[in-house]
Amino acid sequence: MLWAGLMSVSPRMPQWWTASQWAILRYFGAVDGTAGALRLHRAVDEIDTHPKKVLSDDWGIGVGLEWLDSQFQYAYVQHGRRAMDELQALGIATFAGKKKRGPQKCPDFICRDRNGKYHIIECKGNQQGPDHTAEQFTQGRLQKANVRFSDENLVAQRIVAGLAIASYDSSWRTTLLLTDPPPDSAYDETRPHIQIDTAQPQLILRALKRAACMQGFLSSGLFDLARRLLPEASIRRGLDEPNPEFPVTRFEANGSEWMGQEFNLEFPTHLKVNPNESVDGIRLRFGTSTELIQTTKEISHPLTEASMLEELDLDLVPRRVAPDGGTQTQTNETSVSIQQGHSFIAVLEFV
């Protein structure tokens, strides 16, 4: 749910940040808490087709990224279009065309693994079943091939992830499918695409870091710091002053101190999170480290920004490190977090 909230909205528009909560709050009770495997509550069948499609898309993002990150231990996960815009601003990406739908659109996400290799990811979701996921992969293969690196050795994976979500009475189980065909198999020189010049690979990482900082500052309610990294957006709708009723506050999480915003929601009834446990509400906290706040306030020149981004630790903190070297979910029963180095954090807690 945190992945769906953080990665399904544009970081350029703080007003849309409400959607990062909506993705969590709207779907919290959509799971059948009495089932041992992931299934939708029977009440979901009563909603119209369009909201069900949105649910499928959001869960395709959330579950797909959660599983991929658990396997690859990504250092960075960024919204594809936002990352491409930053690359274009640095002069290392050129667009032959921009589409928001269909096979010509930018892939959903650009990720960087801990070996410095890039993963191009497209996420799909449906409630029709695994057979329909296979049909969705046809377009997904084209979308993930839209981004081309001048040095394809920098690309580790081009993945399409598809989540088929079972209803309460489905004869099949919720299934996550993935495909990673050779990139050349989907290339079509007649279609618009995005070309990335890799002659200066450090600029690709800088673009991802800049996008991560924008997302982190805006989620934390630190709009003035966001303006420092994106001054051209100060004249756009979306960087208005924050609501004084939701001030930036100080809090502790994962053993560190953060400045950001906290939101609480009490449920009108107990909601089951598994057959033997229910919760009364949730708390969302989004924060920025106090050290990064001070560093960003001191930025007065583009070269200073570049130096700050180069030194900034934004690698996602691994949450699944097992003593035997394998992987396991490293969370307790009441909270989960997505933390970027010592810079940003998003926390979801049961209350």
pLDDT digit string, tens, across residues 280-331: 988 989 999 999 998 888 876 666 778 888 888 999 998 654 444 444 444 4
- 144: three-class secondary structure by DSSP: helix
Q: Average the pLDDT over 146-153 and give the result.
A: 86
Pick the residue with more confidence: 46 or 239? 46
Cα 90 to Cα 197, 201, 202, 227: the distances in Å are 11, 12, 11, 17
Structure token pair of residue 281: 């509400």
pLDDT reported for residue 333:
62
Query: Is the pLDDT reported for residue 183 higher than 60?
Result: no
Closest to 31 (Cα-Cα) out of 302, 282, 274, 260: 274
Per-residue pLDDT band for 171 (boundaries 50, 70, 90) equals very high
Query: Is the pLDDT reported for residue 233 higher than 50?
Result: no
**Contacting residues for 288 by C-beta, under 8 A, at least 6 apart:** 216, 217, 220, 222, 225, 258, 259, 260, 343, 344
CB-neighbour burial class of residue 157 (10 A; exposed 0-12, middle 13-18, buried 19+): middle
Cα 40 to Cα 8, 12, 59, 61, 187: the distances in Å are 21, 32, 11, 16, 37
